[in-house]
Structure 1
C-alpha cells in the first residue's frame, strides 16, 4: 500500500502552508519578529499548532520561508532574458528587479531584519543567504551567459551584477528604508533602469 500522500492531501497541505505564511507575514509586519509567537500565527492562520509545527518547526524556519518567497521571480512574468542581446536582457532584468523591490511588504521586511538583528542575527542570515544572494547569483549567471554568447565582455560577473543592481536599488529601494514618503514616479523609475542599462552596455557591451 502506498504511503505517498494523495493529491487531495497535498493540496490541503499546500493551502495550509500558504495560510500560515500569509498570517505570519502580517503578524511580523505588525508586531515585529520578537512580538509574534507561533501560537498567534496558528490562530491567525486558522490551523492547529501541531499543523504549524509540522510545516515549520521553528519561527526562524517560517521567517526563512517568507524571505525565500519574497525574493522569488516567477518565470511566468515573461520570456527568459536574451543572453545574445545585452541591452534587451538587462532591460528585462532591470524591470523585474524593480517589481521585486517594490512588492508590498518588501521594505517592511527589511526593516524587521534591521530592527531585530542585534537579538536575532539569524534573520540577517536568512535575508542575505536565502533571499538576496540567490537573486544576485541569477543576475551574475546571466552576465556570464552573455559573455559566453558574445554579446558582452565581462571578466567579473559578480562585480558587474553588483554594479547593475546597485544602480537600480540605490534609487528605487534603499531610500524607502528612511523616507516613508519615497515614491518616485514610474517615469523616473523607468529612466533609472534605462540609464543603468546604458551604463552597463557602454562598459561591458561588444
Structure 2
C-alpha cells in the first residue's frame, strides 16, 4: 500500500473503532451490529468487514489499541530502578488517563455476565501483555542486582496497583472524579519511592520532581 492509502486506511480504522465504542456504550455489545457500526462510522460495510471480519475481532482491536502506548513500548533498560520505574509509572498513568480506557472497562463490566469472552479478551490482549512487560523489567533489574525481588508478580502488581487505585478505578465509581497531571505525577513518584524503598538493594530514592 502507498503511504496515502495507508493513511486513509488508518483514518477509517479510527472512525470504526470510535463508532464501535460509542455504540457499545449506548446500545450494548449484543445489540450493536457491524452494519450499524459501519453506518455510524461513515464507511462501507465492505471496508469494515475487510478490516474486522467479526465483532469479536473488532473488540480485540479496541483492547489492543487502548493498551498501546504512544512512546517507545519497550521497558527501560535495567540499571536504575528509580529512573526505570519512573518511566513505566508515568506511561501507565497516561494510559489509564485516556477516555478510551475508561470506556473499555465500562463496556467489559457491563457485558461481563452475558459475554465473559470480552473480559477474557481484555485480560489476554491488554492487561496481561502490559503486566508482562513490567514484570520483565523488574526481573531484569533483579538479575542486574539493583533490586532483590523474590516474587516479581507481586512486586509488579503492587507497583501498578498503587497508581491505578488512585488515578483510574475511582473514575468508574465516583462521579466527577478527576486527577490533575500534577497529582498523577505525585502519585507515580510516591509509588516509585515506595517500591524502591522496599526492593532496591542500594536503597536509592527518586529525585524530587521539578
- Where does residue 70 of structure 1 map in the other structure? 66
Q: How does 1:158-177 map to 2 (within 5 A)?
A: 158-177=153-172
- Where does residue 207 of structure 2 map in the other structure? none
- Where does residue 51 of structure 1 map in the other structure? 47
1:167 deviation in Å?
0.9
- 3-state DSSP class of the match of 2:124? helix
Q: CA RMSD in A?
A: 2.1
- Where does residue 208 of structure 2 map in the other structure? none
Which of 39, 61, 69 aligns to 2:35? It is 39
1:143 deviation in Å?
0.6
Alpha-carbon displacement from aligned partner over 1:126-153 (angstroms, at most 9, x marks no partner): 1111111111111001111112222211
TM-score by length of 1: 0.88
Write the distance in 2 (CA, Å) between the matches of 1:7 and 1:183: 39
Alpha-carbon displacement from aligned partner over 1:92-131 (angstroms, at most 9, x marks no partner): 1111111000101322221111111111111101111111
Q: List runs of 5+ in structure 2 lacking aligned partners.
A: 202-210
1:15 aligns with 2:11: yes
Task: Classify 1:187/1:9 alpha carbon distance in 2 versus 1 (closer, same or farther; 3 Å).
Answer: closer
- Where does residue 117 of structure 1 map in the other structure? 112
Write the distance in 1 (CA, Å) between the matches of 2:121 and 2:80: 34
Write the distance in 2 (CA, Å) between the matches of 1:18 and 1:46: 11
1:205 deviation in Å?
0.3
- Where does residue 28 of structure 1 map in the other structure? 24
TM-score by length of 2: 0.86
1:67 deviation in Å?
0.9
Write the distance in 2 (CA, Å) between the matches of 1:198 and 1:9: 47
Task: Classify 1:183/1:15 alpha carbon distance in 2 versus 1 (closer, same or farther; 3 Å).
Answer: closer
Q: List runs of 5+ in structure 1 lacking aligned partners.
A: none
- Where does residue 127 of structure 2 map in the other structure? 132
1:101 aligns with 2:96: yes
- Where does residue 143 of structure 1 map in the other structure? 138
Q: How does 1:192-203 map to 2 (within 5 A)?
A: 192-203=187-198
1:188 deviation in Å?
3.1
